[in-house]
Amino acid sequence: MLNFFGFYNSVKLHKSNTDDHRLQNLAKSTLGSASLSKLVKLPKGEDLNEWIAVHIVDFYNQLNLLFATCQQCTRNNCPVMNAGQKYEFHWCDGVEFKRPIKLSAPEYITNLLNWVKGYIDDEQVFPTGTNQFNKKFLQTAKQIFKRLCRVYGHLYLSHFEEFEKYRVESVLNTSFKHFYFFVKEFELVPEKDYEYLKPMISKIEKN
């Protein structure tokens, strides 16, 4: 069984001081509640960039855990990164892959998660201590969330039966519910960029 609340220990968090741990614990406390739409809101007196940064680390860790569960997500089974038959994604990071390239789903997701970790480990993007966030942080965060959303799309539309088989679909559902309410609250991902997840979103909004 996946340990949803253990994802905080799966990688090194980007910060270590007391205030940051307080924010991480505050974010974590929202996961046990049905009122995620209210609890993802920025706590009074907290910095928006800091709140977003903490959640990027959280969702990165969650998706690492969820992706590791998908034993059927192989190059043979998933030769392209997609979210259903209508949506296909090509990888480009501007460094190793300067032009969009078609990769298998596991290769795409692995590159994506490594790309996100590169930002998390970069103190110019995720500052430590009393250092300030740069002016482009929100722009970078939106790009990260947009790409993380694609992983949820692939997991739902290609591997949901596998999650059901191992009886951990509730883990995926809770993670995505948290993700959706967060990006919606702060307008981090345009609706057109998660069109492929509309059936799941409709269920979330009805509950």
Binding residue positions: 73, 78, 154, 159
Binding residues for Zn(2+): 73, 78, 154, 159
Q: Alpha-carbon torsion 166, 171, 172, 174, what sign?
A: positive
C-alpha radius of gyration, the chain, whole number: 17
Q: Between the CA of residue 170 and those of 35, 70, 176, what are the distances in Å?
A: 16, 15, 10
How many whole angstroms separate alpha carbon 30 and alpha carbon 129? 25
How many whole angstroms separate alpha carbon 131 and alpha carbon 170? 38
- Long-range contacts formed by 100-105: CB under 8 A, 24+ apart: 104/74, 104/75, 104/78, 104/79, 104/80, 105/73, 105/78, 105/79, 105/80, 105/81, 105/154, 105/158
How many whole angstroms separate alpha carbon 34 and alpha carbon 29? 11
How many whole angstroms separate alpha carbon 144 and alpha carbon 134? 16
